[in-house]
C-alpha cells in the first residue's frame, strides 16, 4: 500500500445481503502494470468485490478511488466508461450473432445512420489479433468453442480502451495451450500499463502470472501479498484459515485399492457411440468403484457422459445393467436404472434459479417418485436440511433461492439433489470446476466416502491431479474417443499424459 | 434468528399478493366513497344481491380461465385459444340441448370432455411437436370459432332448459352458484399443484426446462397436463357463459377473454417467463379486472372510456409491482426528506 498513486483502490468496502455480510470493510489496491490475483474460497466475497467495483451492486459502505479520484460506478456500463472492464466466468455474449457483431455490439461504427459492417469486421479482427487469434469473425459466436468465446469476450473488453481488466475465472474452460496464450496476452497488456485483476482457482496459474495476491475469507481481506514472498502453503492457509496439514491428510487418502477381479461389473457398455459426438466405446462399471475420466478439453468426456445418461441418444451400442439389457434413451430412463448425472454447466443444466435450495435438492428424488407420491413438506425439509449440513452448503436457510448462493454452494446443492435420489451410479461431470480448494477437497472426500458405501462413480475432471487422487481406474479420452484405461500402478499424471501423447504420435 | 427466518419465509410468499390486494382495495375504497350503495347487500328470496356479489358472479368465467392460464403460463407457455374453447363448449352444450335433446348429464359432461381434448391437442402440439405455445394455440384460436359455428350451423342457438340455466343463474347457500364452481376449481387446482409435486414440476419446467429434463422430470407430460387443465377450465367457463345468456353465440362467447385472463395472471404476480406462480393471485387479478368494469359501468362513465381507464389501472398495478419503480419512488422520497 506504499504506492502513492494506485490505479485503483478501495477502502472499507462493505456489502450486506439478507442474512449475510458478504464483504466486511475490505481494503484493496491495484497498481498500473500489475496483475493481482484475487483468491478465496466460495462465498469469500470475490464475486461481490468485483461486482461492487464494476457497479453491478451498490456498496453499503466504503469508498472506491480510480487514480486517486473517487468514483461511484452505478452500472457495468458506467464502470466501462471509467475504464474498468470485466470478463465473467460464464461468457456473457450472444451466441447467435457473429463474432464481429459481438465485439462491436452497442458501439457499432455508424456513418450516415448506417452501420459500417466492413469496419465492424476489421475492428474485430484487430481486437482478436491482439490476442493472437485468427478466426473468421463473420461466423456466429456459438459455432466456436467456449475457449474461443472467452477470448472474444476478452477482445471485446480490451476493445473498450480499458485501464483495468478484470478476469473472473478466465481459465476454467481453457486447455493448457490456450492458458499459455492468454497469459502471453496478459503480460503484453501489463507492459502497456493495464492493471489486471485475475480470479482463478488454479494455484499454479496464480504463481505463473501474478505480481500480487489478495486473499479474501468470509468477506474479510486477509492480506494483499507480493506473490514472490508468499509460499503456496501460506496462501492456502490464508484462504482456508486452517493448517495445511489437515488438507494434505485428506487429499493424501489415496485410493490404492486395485480393481478387484472378483468384483464383476454391474453395468457393461459395449460399442456405444454417436456420430460426431463420441466414437464407439466399451465401458465396465463395478460396484463401489470410482472410474476417472481424463482427457484434454474437447476430448469427448462430456459427450460420453451425455450418452451414458441418455441426454443424447446413442446411435449404436448396448447397455446391460445386472445382466439385463436395457435401453437408455432419456434421462428419465437412466434415472429409473439408478443413474444420476451432475452436469458440468450448472447454470444452464443444474440449477432451477427461481426455486429454493430445498426444492432444488428434492427435485430428482421427487421426479423419480412421480408427482402423485408427493414428499411432505416436513420430509423435504428434513432431506434438504440433512444435506445442507452434511455438505456444509453455505446458505442462510433452505428456503433461500438457489440463485442467491455462490457457485460452489450451488454445485453442492446439485450434488445433494442426486444424493437424495440415491443412485447406484453417479456421473459427476467437473464437479469441482470453478470451486475453491477447500470445497474441492470436501467434494473429493465425499466422492471417496460414497464409493465406500457402494456407489459407483464416473468422475470427470480436467484436473489430472484430482482424477489421479480419487480414481480406482481411469479411462483416458482423446479426440472424442476412449483410447485406453489405466489401472493400479499406471495411475499417475504422467501416465495419463503419456497415454494421450502416445496415441497422438500414432 | 429463528423468528426472523420464519418472518422472512412468510413474507416471501404473501408479499407477492400484497400489491394486487392493495390495488383491489384501492378500487373498492374508491367505490366506498364515490359509488352509492356499492357495498349494500340485500336479501331477496333468501338470495344475496348487490354490487359485490355481482362482481363475484360476473367474474366467474374469467376466474376459471385465469386458473388454467396460471398453470400454463407457469410452464413458460401461453394459451390464447381459451376464448374459442369457450365458444365451442357453449355450442356443443346448446346443440345437445336444442337439437339432440340429450340428458343433462351429457349436456354437462360432453362439452367438458371436448374442451379437455382440445387442451390435450394444444398440449401435444407444444410438448411433443415443439411448436411455440403462442403459435400452437393460435391455430385453435382462429379455427375454434369456425368449429363452433359449424356446430351451431352459423346461427345463435337459443334454448330453454331450467336445470342447465341453473349453472349461471342459480343460487347455492344464498350465493350465485358460479361462485361455488370457481371455488371448487380453485380448490382442485390448489390441491393438484400444492398438495402434489405437480406444482414443483410446473415451476421447475417453466424456470429451466433443460435442468428439469436432467433431473428426470417428464416435461412433456407436465405441459400436457397444464394445457389439458386449462382447456377444461375454459370448457366449464363456456358452460357458464352459455347458461347465462341461454344461448350459444359462437362469435361473441368468450371473445378476447384470453387476453383478460393473461392480464389477470400477470397482475396476480406470475411472470410470463414462467416459474413461480400464484393461483390466488390470478383470482385477485380477475377480481380487479371485474371490479373495474363494474365500477366504470355503475359510475355511468361512457363505454368508450372504459378501456382507457382499465389500461391506466393496469399500468398502475404493474408499477406498484415493479421493484425498480418502488425503489425509485422510495429514493425520491428519501431525498426530499433529507
Q: What is the pLDDT of residues A368-407, one digit of tens each?
A: 888 888 889 999 999 999 999 888 888 888 998 998 888 7
A473: nearest Cα among A490, A451, A454: A490
pTM reported for the whole predicted model: 0.73
Q: Which residue of B has its CA nearest to A338?
A: B216
**CB–CB contact B218 A351 (8 Å):** no
**CB–CB contact B200 A366 (8 Å):** yes
The one-digit pLDDT tens for each residue of chain A (506 residues) are 444 578 899 999 998 887 678 888 999 999 999 999 998 876 788 888 999 998 888 888 899 999 888 988 888 888 888 888 888 766 678 888 888 888 888 777 777 777 788 888 888 888 888 777 788 888 898 888 777 887 888 888 876 567 899 988 877 667 777 788 788 888 888 888 889 999 887 777 888 899 999 999 888 898 888 888 887 777 777 876 655 444 444 443 344 444 455 667 888 889 898 877 788 899 888 888 899 998 766 678 888 999 999 998 888 888 988 888 888 888 999 999 999 999 888 888 889 988 999 999 999 999 988 888 888 999 999 999 999 988 888 888 899 899 888 877 888 899 999 999 989 999 999 888 767 677 778 888 888 888 888 899 999 987 777 888 888 888 988 777 888 888 877 787 777 777 776 654 44
How many other β-carbons are positioned within 10 Å of the β-carbon of residue A2? 5
Domains defined for chain A, CATH in brackets:
8-249 (3.40.50.300), 264-338+423-506 (3.40.50.300), 350-422 (no CATH)
DSSP per residue, A262-300? SS-EEEEEEEEEETTTEEEEEEEEETT-EEEEEE-TTSS
A426 contacts in chain B (CB < 8 Å): none
**CB–CB contact A368 B216 (8 Å):** yes
Optimal mutation site among A367, A401, A421, interface B, most CBs of chain B within 10 A: A367
B275 contacts in chain A (CB < 8 Å): 354-355
A425: which strand partners? A339, A456
How many other β-carbons are positioned within 10 Å of the β-carbon of residue B21? 16
A349 contacts in chain B (CB < 8 Å): 210-211, 214
Q: By the CB < 8 Å criterion, does B299 face chain A? A: no
Instruction: Please tell me the distance in Å from B189's CA to the nearest CA on chain A.
Output: 14
pLDDT < 70 regions, chain B: 1-15, 337-338
Beta strands in A308-434 (DSSP E): 316-321, 324-326, 339-342, 425-429
B11 contacts in chain A (CB < 8 Å): none
Q: Which residue of B has its CA nearest to A349?
A: B211
Q: By the CB < 8 Å criterion, does B16 face chain A? A: no
A363 contacts in chain B (CB < 8 Å): 200, 204, 212, 215, 217
Instruction: Please tell me the distance in Å from A392's CA to the nearest CA on chain B.
Output: 19
Grid coordinates representing B142 are 382462429
Per-residue pLDDT tens over the stretch A422-478: 899 999 998 887 676 777 788 888 888 888 888 999 999 877 778 888 888 889 887
Tell me the CATH number of domain B18-337, given options 1.10.1060, 1.25.40, 1.10.3470, 1.10.540: 1.10.3470
Please give the ipTM for the structure prediction: 0.82
Q: Tell me the count of A-B CB pairs closer than 8 A.
A: 85
B203 contacts in chain A (CB < 8 Å): 352, 354-355, 359
Task: Give the C-alpha separation, B96 to A425, whole Å.
Answer: 57
Q: Which residues of A98-117 are buried (b: 16+ CB within 10 A; e: fewer)?
A: bbbbbbbeeebeeeeeeeee
Amino acid at each position: 500500500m506504499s504506492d502513492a498513486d494506485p490505479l485503483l483502490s478501495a477502502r472499507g468496502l462493505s456489502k450486506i445481503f439478507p442474512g449475510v455480510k458478504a464483504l466486511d470493510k475490505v481494503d484493496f489496491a491495484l497498481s498500473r502494470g500489475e496483475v493481482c490475483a484475487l483468491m478465496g474460497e466460495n462465498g469469500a466475497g470475490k464475486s461481490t468485490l468485483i461486482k461492487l467495483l464494476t457497479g453491478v451492486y451498490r456498496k453499503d459502505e466504503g469508498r472506491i478511488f480510480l487514480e486517486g479520484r473517487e468514483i461511484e460506478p452505478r452500472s457495468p456500463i458506467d464502470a466501462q466508461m471509467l475504464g474498468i472492464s470485466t470478463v465473467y466466468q460464464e461468457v456473457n455474449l450472444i451466441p447467435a450473432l457473429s463474432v464481429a457483431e459481438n465485439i462491436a455490439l452497442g458501439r457499432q461504427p455508424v456513418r450516415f445512420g448506417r452501420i459500417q459492417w466492413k469496419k465492424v469486421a476489421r475492428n474485430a479482427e484487430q481486437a482478436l489479433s491482439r490476442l493472437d487469434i485468427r478466426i473468421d469473425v463473420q461466423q456466429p459466436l456459438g459455432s466456436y468453442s467456449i475457449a474461443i468465446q472467452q477470448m472474444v469476450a476478452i477482445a471485446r473488453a480490451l476493445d473498450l480502451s480499458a485501464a483495468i481488466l478484470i478476469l473472473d475465472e478466465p481459465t476454467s474452460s481453457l486447455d493448457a495451450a490456450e492458458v499459455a496464450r492468454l497469459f502471453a496476452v496478459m503480460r503484453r497488456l501489463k507492459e502497456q500499463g493495464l492493471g489486471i485483476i485475475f480470479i482463478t482457482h488454479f494455484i499454479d496459474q496464480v504463481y505463473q502470472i501474478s505480481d500480487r495476491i489478495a486473499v479474501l475469507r468470509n468477506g474479510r481481506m486477509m492480506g494483499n501479498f507480493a506473490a514472490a514472498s508468499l509460499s503456496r502453503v501460506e496462501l492456502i492457509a490464508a484462504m482456508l484459515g486452517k493448517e495445511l496439514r489437515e488438507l494434505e491428510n485428506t487429499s493424501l487418502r489415496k485410493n490404492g485399492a486395485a480393481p478387484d477381479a472378483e468384483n464383476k461389473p454391474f453395468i457393461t457398455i459395449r460399442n456405444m457411440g454417436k456420430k460426431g459426438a463420441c466414437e464407439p466405446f466399451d465401458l465396465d462399471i463395478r460396484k463401489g468403484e470410482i472410474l476417472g475420466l481424463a482427457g484434454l478439453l474437447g476430448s469427448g468426456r462430456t459427450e460420453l457422459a451425455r450418452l451414458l445418461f441418455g441426454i443424447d441418444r446413442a446411435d449404436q451400442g448396448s447397455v446391460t445393467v445386472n445382466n439385463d439389457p436395457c435401453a437408455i434413451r432419456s434421462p428419465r430412463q437412466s434415472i429409473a436404472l439408478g443413474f444420476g448425472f451432475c452436469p458440468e454447466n450448472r447454470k444452464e443444466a443444474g440449477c432451477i434459479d427461481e426455486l429454493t435450495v430445498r426444492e432444488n435438492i428434492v427435485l430428482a428424488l421427487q421426479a423419480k417418485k412421480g408427482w402423485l407420491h408427493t414428499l411432505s413438506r416436513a420430509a423435504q425439509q428434513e432431506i434438504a436440511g440433512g444435506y445442507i449440513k452434511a455438505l456444509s452448503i453455505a446458505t442462510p436457510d433452505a428456503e433461500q433461492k438457489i440463485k442467491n448462493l455462490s457457485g460452489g454452494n450451488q454445485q453442492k446443492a446439485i450434488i445433494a439433489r442426486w444424493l437424495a435420489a440415491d443412485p447406484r451410479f453417479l456421473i459427476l461431470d467437473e464437479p469441482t470446476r470453478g470451486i475453491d480448494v477447500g470445497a474441492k477437497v470436501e467434494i473429493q472426500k465425499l466422492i471417496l466416502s460414497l464409493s465406500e458405501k457402494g456407489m459407483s462413480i464416473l468422475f470427470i475432471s480436467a484436473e489430472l491431479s484430482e482424477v489421479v487422487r480419487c480414481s480406482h481406474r481411469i479411462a483416458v479420452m482423446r479426440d472424442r474417443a476412449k483410447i485406453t484405461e489405466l489401472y493400479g500402478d499406471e495411475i499417475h499424471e504422467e501416465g495419463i499424459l503419456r497415454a494421450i501423447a502416445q496415441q497422438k504420435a500414432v | 434468528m429463528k423468528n426472523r427466518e420464519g418472518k422472512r419465509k412468510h413474507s416471501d410468499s404473501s408479499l407477492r399478493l400484497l400489491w394486487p390486494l392493495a390495488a383491489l382495495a384501492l378500487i373498492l375504497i374508491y367505490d366506498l366513497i364515490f359509488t352509492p350503495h356499492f357495498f349494500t347487500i340485500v336479501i331477496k328470496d333468501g338470495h344475496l344481491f348487490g354490487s359485490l356479489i355481482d362482481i363475484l358472479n360476473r367474474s366467474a368465467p374469467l376466474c376459471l380461465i385465469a386458473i388454467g392460464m396460471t398453470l400454463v403460463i407457469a410452464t413458460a407457455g401461453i394459451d390464447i385459444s381459451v376464448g374459442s374453447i369457450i365458444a365451442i363448449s357453449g355450442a356443443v352444450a346448446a346443440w345437445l340441448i336444442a337439437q339432440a335433446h340429450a340428458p343433462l348429464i351429457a349436456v354437462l359432461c360432453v362439452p367438458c370432455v371436448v374442451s379437455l381434448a382440445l387442451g390435450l391437442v394444444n398440449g401435444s402440439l407444444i410438448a411433443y411437436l415443439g411448436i411455440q405455445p403462442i403459435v400452437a394455440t393460435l391455430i385453435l384460436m382462429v379455427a375454434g370459432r369456425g368449429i363452433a359455428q359449424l356446430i351451431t350451423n352459423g346461427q345463435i342457438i337459443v334454448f330453454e332448459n331450467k336445470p342447465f340455466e341453473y349453472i349461471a343463474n342459480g343460487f347455492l347457500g344464498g350465493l350465485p352458484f358460479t361462485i361455488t364452481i370457481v371455488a371448487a376449481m380453485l380448490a382442485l387446482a390448489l390441491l393438484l399443484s400444492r398438495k402434489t409435486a405437480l406444482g414443483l414440476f410446473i415451476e421447475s419446467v417453466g424456470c429451466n426446462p433443460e435442468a428439469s429434463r436432467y433431473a428426470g422430470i417428464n416435461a412433456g407430460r407436465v405441459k400436457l397436463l397444464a394445457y389439458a387443465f386449462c382447456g377444461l377450465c375454459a370448457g366449464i367457463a363456456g358452460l357458464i357463459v352459455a347458461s347465462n345468456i341461454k344461448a350459444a353465440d359462437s362469435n361473441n362467447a368468450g371473445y378476447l377473454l384470453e387476453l383478460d385472463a393473461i392480464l389477470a395472471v400477470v397482475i396476480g404476480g406470475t411472470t410470463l417467463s414462467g416459474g413461480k406462480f400464484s393461483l390466488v393471485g390470478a383470482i385477485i387479478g380477475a377480481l380487479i379486472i371485474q371490479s373495474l368494469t363494474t365500477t366504470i359501468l355503475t359510475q355511468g362513465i361512457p363505454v368508450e372510456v372504459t378501456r382507457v381507464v382499465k389500461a391506466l389501472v393496469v399500468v398502475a398495478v404493474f408499477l406498484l409491482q415493479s421493484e425498480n419503480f418502488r425503489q425509485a419512488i422510495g429514493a425520491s422520497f428519501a431525498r426530499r426528506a433529507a
